[in-house]
Amino acid sequence: MKSGRAVFAAALGAFVLTGSVASQAAPTYEIDPDHSSVIFKVKNRDIVFVYGRFNKISGSIVTDTLRKPSKLDITAEVQAKSIDTNVTKRDRQLKGGEFLKVSKNRSITFKTKDSKRLEDGRFELVGELTLLGVAKEITVIFEPTGTGKASMAFQLGGHITFTIKRSDFGMDAMIPDIADEVTVFVSLEGKFNIPPSG
């Protein structure tokens, strides 16, 4: 059975066999919000991890070439007010002035500044994460998880896990009762619409 990375590489290589797709030097895959997730965990009182998610994500994934791309750039935007920890009172607090300040900072963004393909088929992305209006450079690993085709669109999927210190972005409320370190899990599906032939 082929691994997700092997399927990813094979499918991208196969794109060049499709004339209408081959004409696109740098295909753009729009992030599908229905099949993408942003989940986080943070430790509470050094006892248990509390998990949450953001329900609204948009953006794009762009490759530099169709055959065995050496670069993969992600631009993603998460709506801060879409935070969901399954506890209404806690969500209101997280949206307020101690934490996300959603009235002034409506989105959390990531934009790739540089990327390279690793020998194992994964991609190392250096990008700028902006939270609470503070931009910090972070490095993450994008691991391809699969590809496919539906109707007139190609699809690709990938997964990213990274950890930040929220205090680096000016969010230091309730430390250490609520841990400074936050681990984020991102699963993305991108769709590249095939231009009609003729």
Residue with the bigger pLDDT between 115 and 155: it is 115
23 CB-near residues (< 8 Å, 6+ apart): 195
- Domain limits for position 91: 4-193
Cβ atoms 96, 90 nearer than 8 A: no
Distance from the Cα of residue 86 to its chain's centroid: 22
User: CATH number for the domain including 35?
Assistant: 2.40.128.110
Residue 198 within any structural domain of the chain: no
How far is it, in rounded angstroms, from Cα 188 to Cα 76?
Answer: 10
Asked if residue 28 belongs to a domain, the reply is yes
Residue 13 has pLDDT above 90, yes or no: no
Q: What is the pLDDT of residues 62-120, one digit of tens each?
A: 987 656 778 899 999 999 999 999 999 999 999 999 999 999 999 999 999 999 999 99
Say if 14 falls within a structural domain: yes
Look at residue 11 and tell me if it is in a domain: yes
Residue 163 has pLDDT above 80, yes or no: yes
**Residue 146 forms part of a structural domain:** yes
Does the pLDDT value for residue 129 go beyond 70?
yes
pLDDT digits (tens, 9 = 90+) for 130-147: 999 999 999 999 999 988
Residue 139 within any structural domain of the chain: yes
The yes-or-no verdict on residue 175 having pLDDT over 60 is yes
* Position 22 confidence tier, pLDDT thresholds 50, 70, 90: very low
Domain assignment present for 132: yes
Q: How many domains does the chain have?
A: 1
- Of residues 198 and 28, the one with the higher pLDDT is 28
Q: Evaluate whether residue 152 is within a structural domain.
A: yes
Report pLDDT digits (tens) over 33-70: 999 999 999 999 999 999 999 999 999 999 876 567 78
- Rounded to the nearest integer, the mean pLDDT of the chain is 88
* Burial class for 188, CB neighbours closer than 10 Å (0-12, 13-18, 19+): buried
Mean pLDDT of 157-183: 97
Kindly tell me if the per-residue pLDDT of 197 is higher than 80: no
